[in-house]
């Protein structure tokens, strides 16, 4: 009966190694995805606008995660004219600008968390020909309540959970078979 017991243990090892290998193959696929990239901004980089806009808009190729996002709107002296929190709706990140922000050259310094979970950042500049005379409209509460969790991370999480459950079930089944084989001997 010892050879039968060794055979079941070998089966257990092969099943667990196969499941662990499948789980490991999935991890690099999620990590290998490229970070999101900035597609456009309003105002555009190196542009001149007639007046300071009520808000700065950044458009990305994917929806950033709404965690620790920062958009600074700095004048030539380094003073930040951003007003309130960053808003993320779909792939659009916007930052309100304080009313009365003066004309001049501005540098926008931004940092968001890419949909793959990694922080990305950048800067761009523009010149405002006149002061900001209006406040930015506020987004609807439902739009700002978006969790920002991309579908890709949810899918990877579900697959990882299924693999863990499969490993646990396989371990229980094989352990029971080993116990039954030992009881028979």
Each residue of 126-175: pLDDT tens digit?
999 988 877 666 554 334 444 444 555 555 666 767 777 877 777 787 88
Are 10 and 95 within one domain? no
Are 75 and 92 within one domain? yes
Distance from the Cα of residue 155 to its chain's centroid? 13
Are 90 and 107 within one domain? yes
Are 100 and 168 within one domain? no
Are 53 and 133 within one domain? yes
131 contact partners, CB below 8 Å, separation of at least 6: 51, 52, 100, 101, 102, 103
Supply the range of the domain harboring residue 10.
2-32+157-184
Model pLDDT, residue 145: 40
Are 98 and 133 within one domain? yes
DSSP per position, 71-97: EEEE-TT--B-B-S--EEETTEEEEEB
Are 26 and 115 within one domain? no
Q: How many domains does the chain have?
A: 2
Are 68 and 133 within one domain? yes
Are 109 and 168 within one domain? no
Pairing of strands 119-128, 47-49: parallel
CATH code where residue 56 lies = 2.60.40.1220
- pTM of the predicted structure, to 2 decimals: 0.58
Q: Between 37 and 147, whose confidence is greater?
A: 37
Are 84 and 137 within one domain? yes
Are 47 and 127 within one domain? yes
Q: Quick check: 159 and 26 in contact, CB under 8 A? A: yes
Are 26 and 90 within one domain? no
Among 101-105, 153-157, 181-185, the range of highest mean pLDDT: 101-105
């Amino acid at each position: 009966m010892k050879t039968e017991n060794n055979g079941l243990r070998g089966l257990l090892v092969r099943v667990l190694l196969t499941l662990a290998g499948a789980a490991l193959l999935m991890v690099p696929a999620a990590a290998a995805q490229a970070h999101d990239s900035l597609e456009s901004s309003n105002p555009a980089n190196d542009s001149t606008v007639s007046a300071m806009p009520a808000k700065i808009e950044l458009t990305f190729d994917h929806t950033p995660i709404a965690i620790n996002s920062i958009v600074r709107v700095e004048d030539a002296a380094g003073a930040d004219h951003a007003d309130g929190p960053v808003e993320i709706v779909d792939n659009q990140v916007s930052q309100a600008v304080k009313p009365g922000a003066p004309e001049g050259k501005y540098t926008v310094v931004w940092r968001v968390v890419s949909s793959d979970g990694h922080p990305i950042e950048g800067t761009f500049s523009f010149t405002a020909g006149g002061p900001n005379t209006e406040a930015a409209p506020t987004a609807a509460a439902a739009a700002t309540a978006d969790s920002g969790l991309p579908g890709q991370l949810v899918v990877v999480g579900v697959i990882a959970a299924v693999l863990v459950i499969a490993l646990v079930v396989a371990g229980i089944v094989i352990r029971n078979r080993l116990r039954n084989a030992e009881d028979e001997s």
